[in-house]
Amino acid sequence: MGYARLVGGGLGETDLEVAVEKAILRGVKKLDTYDPDKAAFTSWLRPLVRHAIGDLRRSKGADNPELPADVAETGEPDPELPAPTEAALRRALQRLSETDQLILALRVTEQLSYDQIAERIGGVTPGACRVRHLRALRRLAGEAAAEPELHHYMKDIPT
């Protein structure tokens, strides 16, 4: 619920509970696809919460409150990657430092705003978090250059 509150800004507690309920049910249905070698269980479960919240926002239509400007709208699950592309991205990410991976996970994977990241890390400003994130993105672009499977996706990254 804490995570749902974090990413479901503007939704009421009842809506968030419904989203968590849907996410957990979907998680149980898809449990066979969870691979403990690839990620922690909660990391696997969180996208389901985001997608459930995205569905709820869409279903509420005009009643949907404005999202903070720098928070990406949660929507349909992204199409699954072909295995070679996923493997290439994993290789590129693993060549980054863990701090790079962490800021990318918070900003891109978890879709937190810079305000939220700064608040969670503590003792830092949102602006500095933004700069640190951009630096991690650039380093990822550098590593991705060595992976032909990723060139198509990386063309829009600033270098």
56 counts as binding another protein under rule CB under 8 A: no
Listed in sequence order, the DSSP H helices in 8-159 are 13-29, 41-60, 83-94, 98-104, 114-121, 126-144, 151-154
Instruction: Report whether 100 contacts 142 (CB < 8 A).
Output: no
Tokens of 80: 């699954």
Residues 125, 96: contact at Cβ < 8 Å?
no
Residue ranges in 60-89 that form contacts with another protein under rule CB under 8 A: 70, 72, 78-83, 85-86, 89
Among 55, 64, 67, 102, binds another protein (CB under 8 A): 102
Answer for which of 8, 15, 19, 20 binds another protein (CB under 8 A) is 20
Q: In this complex, which beta carbon is closest to another protein, that of residue 61 or of residue 93?
A: 93
8 Å CB contact between 16 and 46: no
- By CB under 8 A, the count of residues binding another protein is 74
Instruction: Return the number of the residue (34 or 58) whose C-beta is nearest another protein.
Output: 34
Transcribe 26-59 into DSSP letters: HHHHTGGG--TTTS-HHHHHHHHHHHHHHHHHHH
Of residues 37 and 62, the one with the C-beta less far from another protein: 37
Return the number of the residue (59 or 94) whose C-beta is nearest another protein: 94
Nearest distance from C-beta of residue 133 to another protein, angstroms: 8
Q: Is position 12 an interface residue for another protein (rule: CB under 8 A)?
A: no
Of 53, 137, 143, 147, the one binding another protein by CB under 8 A:
137
